[in-house]
C-alpha cells in the first residue's frame, strides 16, 4: 500500500460507515487526528496499512494477553475450521469451555455463552430481575457495561436521583429503573438501598474499573458491596469482561477474595474472536430458558471457532501462569512514566495492577469518575501523539485502560519505556 494508505482507507470508510469506524473510540475524536488502519498483528506489535510497526498497549482492548496472533491460538482456530464455522447445535467445545470457566472461577457453577460482553451484561441484568422479581438496578459512574438500554445511563444530579439516558434512543422510562452512584462511595450505597427498600434487583460493577481509565477500589469497598447486597437480597454482578483471566486466573474476585452472585466474561475467553459469557450461582442460572422463565438466546453462542481459540488461550494461561511476569512488566512501565514525569515536573497518576494500567495527568489520586475527569485530557492528547510518533500505540483516549501481554517482554518493553519517557520529555 502507499504511504497514505490509512488516510485513503479512512476517506473511503467515512463514505460508508458512520464516522468511518465500527466502534466510536477508534475515531481518535478525544485525542485528535485520524485513525490508522491495521493490516496485521503479531506479538506485541501492530503493522499498519502504511507498513509502520507499533508497540501495542491496547491488545485489542484486552483479549491479547498472550500477544497478537499467538501460534497456538491460530493453530486451534485452524483445526476447528476444518470441521466447519458454525453448526447451530450444541458442540463439544462449548462443554469444554464451560468446564474450564467453572474450574478457573469458583463462583461460577453454571455458565451461558453468548457473543459479546454487551450481551453478557444485558442478559445478566435480565436474569437478576427475573430471579428477584424486582425492577431497579444500581450501576456506578464511570463503569461501562456495554450499550444495552438499561446500562447506557449516566448519573443524575445527585446520588439518590435516577439516571438519565446517555444516548439518543434510550427511553427515559428505562433510565428511571437505573440508579447511578459514585464508585468507592459507601454512604451513597447505603442511602440508595434505604430510599428503595426491596426494589433493587441487582448491583452491577466493574470491580476494577477499566472504562474511565483504570481505577481500583478502596480497601474493603468490594467486601462492603458484597455484605450490603447480601443483606438486601440483591444480586451482585461482577462485570469481569476486561479483568476476567487478566488480573488473575480467577479475575478480580480471586484477587480480592469476593464471591459475586453472577459474573460477566468476554475478551480472553474468545482468544480474539467475538465472545461473551455470564454465569454464577446455579439457583439463579436455572431461571434461564429452557429451564426457567428468563429468555436468552443467540444463533452464534458457543461458536466452535471462538471456543477453540478461547480454550487454547485459557489452557496456555494455566500452563504458563504468567501473572508474575505481567506484574513485572506493568511495574516497569509504571516506573518509567513516573520517573519521566518527575524529571519534567508533570503531575501524574499511574494506577496499575498486573497487566492493566492508566496514565492520568493530575496531582489528585484517581478513585472515581469525578477524580478521573480532573486529569488533563489535552495534555494526554499531546502525549498520545508523541508516543505514536515514537512507535508506541496507547488507547486513543485519556479515559481508557491500557493492557500488556507476555509478548511485551524483552526488547519491546525496553523500547516502549524509552519512547514514553521521550514523549513526556517533549511535552
Catalytic residues: 144, 239, 267
CA distance 218 to 220: 6
Note if the bond before 290 is cis, omega within 30 degrees. Answer: yes
What does DSSP assign to residue 208? S
Backbone φ and ψ of 423, nearest 5°: -65, -40
- 258 Cβ contact list (under 8 Å, min separation 6): 207, 222, 223, 225, 226, 238, 252
User: What Rg value do the Cα atoms of the chain yield, rounded?
Assistant: 21
- 349 Cβ contact list (under 8 Å, min separation 6): 358, 359, 360, 362, 363, 364, 365, 366, 375
Between the alpha carbon of residue 14 and those of residues 6, 21, 25, 34, the distances in Å are 12, 8, 15, 11
What's the CA angle centered on 23, arms 19 and 27, to 5 degrees?
50
What's the CA angle centered on 115, arms 109 and 121, to 5 degrees?
60
**Residue 323 and residue 354 in contact, taking contact as beta carbons nearer than 8 Å:** yes
Strands 53-56, 110-114: pairing kind:
unpaired
CA distance 50 to 28: 18
For residue 100, give the C-alpha cell: 474450564
CA distance 411 to 418: 11
Amino acid at each position: 500500500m502507499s504511504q497514505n494508505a490509512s488516510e485513503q482507507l479512512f476517506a473511503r470508510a467515512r463514505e460508508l460507515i458512520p464516522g468511518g469506524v465500527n466502534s466510536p473510540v477508534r475515531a481518535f475524536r478525544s485525542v485528535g487526528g485520524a485513525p490508522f488502519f491495521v493490516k496485521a498483528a503479531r506479538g506485541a506489535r501492530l503493522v499498519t496499512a502504511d507498513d509502520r510497526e507499533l508497540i501495542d498497549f491496547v491488545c485489542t482492548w484486552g483479549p491479547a494477553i498472550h500477544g497478537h496472533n499467538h501460534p497456538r491460538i491460530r493453530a486451534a482456530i485452524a483445526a476447528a475450521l476444518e470441521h466447519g464455522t458454525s453448526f447451530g447445535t450444541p458442540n463439544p467445545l462449548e462443554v469444554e469451555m464451560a468446564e474450564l470457566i467453572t474450574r478457573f472461577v469458583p463462583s461460577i457453577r453454571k455458565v451461558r455463552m453468548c457473543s459479546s460482553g454487551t450481551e453478557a451484561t444485558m442478559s445478566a441484568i435480565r436474569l437478576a430481575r427475573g430471579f428477584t422479581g424486582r425492577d431497579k438496578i444500581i450501576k456506578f459512574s464511570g463503569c461501562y457495561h456495554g450499550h444495552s438500554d438499561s446500562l447506557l445511563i449516566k448519573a443524575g444530579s445527585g446520588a439518590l436521583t435516577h439516571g438519565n439516558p446517555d444516548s439518543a434512543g434510550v427511553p427515559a422510562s428505562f433510565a428511571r429503573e437505573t440508579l447511578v452512584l459514585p464508585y468507592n462511595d459507601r454512604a451513597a450505597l447505603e442511602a440508595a438501598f434505604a430510599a428503595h427498600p426491596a426494589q433493587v434487583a441487582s448491583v452491577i460493577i466493574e470491580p476494577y474499573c477499566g472504562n474511565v481509565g483504570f481505577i481500583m477500589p478502596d480497601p474493603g469497598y468490594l467486601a462492603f458491596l458484597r455484605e450490603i447486597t447480601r443483606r438486601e437480597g440483591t444480586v451482585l454482578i461482577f462485570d469481569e469482561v476486561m479483568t476476567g483471566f487478566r488480573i488473575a486466573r480467577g479475575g478480580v474476585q480471586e484477587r480480592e477474595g469476593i464471591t459475586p452472585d453472577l459474573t460477566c466474561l468476554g475478551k480472553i475467553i474468545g482468544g480474539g474472536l467475538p465472545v461473551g459469557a455470564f454465569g454464577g450461582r446455579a439457583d439463579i442460572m436455572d431461571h434461564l430458558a429452557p429451564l426457567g422463565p428468563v429468555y436468552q438466546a443467540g444463533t452464534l453462542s458457543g461458536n466452535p471457532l471462538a471456543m477453540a481459540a478461547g480454550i487454547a488461550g485459557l489452557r496456555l494461561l494455566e500452563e504458563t501462569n504468567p501473572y508474575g511476569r505481567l506484574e513485572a512488566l506493568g511495574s516497569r512501565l509504571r516506573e518509567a512514566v513516573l520517573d519521566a514525569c518527575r524529571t519534567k515536573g508533570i503531575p501524574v497518576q499511574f494506577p496499575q495492577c498486573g497487566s492493566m494500567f492508566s496514565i492520568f495527568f493530575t496531582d489528585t489520586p484517581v478513585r472515581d469518575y469525578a477524580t478521573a475527569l480532573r486529569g488533563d485530557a489535552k495534555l494526554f492528547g499531546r502525549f498520545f501523539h508523541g508516543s505514536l510518533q515514537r512507535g508506541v500505540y496507547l488507547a486513543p483516549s485519556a479515559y481508557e485502560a491500557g493492557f500488556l501481554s507476555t509478548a511485551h517482554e524483552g526488547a519491546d518493553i525496553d523500547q516502549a519505556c524509552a519512547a514514553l519517557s521521550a514523549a513526556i520529555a517533549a511535552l
